[in-house]
């Protein structure tokens, strides 16, 4: 995420991003087997 200030990788499948405004987001990492690429999707905004 280009707007994140700090990122912590958890168990190679999840990461927590601390955004510049202080909000936290949980991001799920998924492997696309066809494209052989890792995709990221925001699973939950932890600031809510």
3 burial level (CB within 10 Å; 0-12, 13-18, 19+): exposed
> If you ran DSSP here, which 8-state letter would residue 28 be given?
E
pLDDT in tens, 6-41: 888 778 788 888 888 888 888 888 888 888 888 888
Rounded CA-CA distance 40/48 in Å is 20
Q: Are 40 and 31 in contact (CB under 8 A)?
A: no
pLDDT band at 1 (very low <50, low <70, confident <90, very high): very low
pTM assigned to the model: 0.57
pLDDT of residue 44: 60
Q: Are 7 and 17 in contact (CB under 8 A)?
A: yes
Would you kindly state where each structural domain of the chain is located, as residue ranges?
4-45
Q: Which of 1, 39, 14, 11 lies closest to 23, judged by CA?
A: 1
- Judged against a pLDDT cut of 80, whether residue 4 lies above it is answered with no
């Amino acid at each position: 995420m280009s707007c994140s200030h700090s990122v912590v990788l958890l168990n190679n499948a999840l990461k927590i991003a601390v955004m510049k405004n202080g909000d936290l987001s949980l991001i799920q990492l998924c492997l696309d087997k066809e494209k052989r690429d890792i995709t990221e999707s925001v699973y939950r905004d932890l600031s809510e």
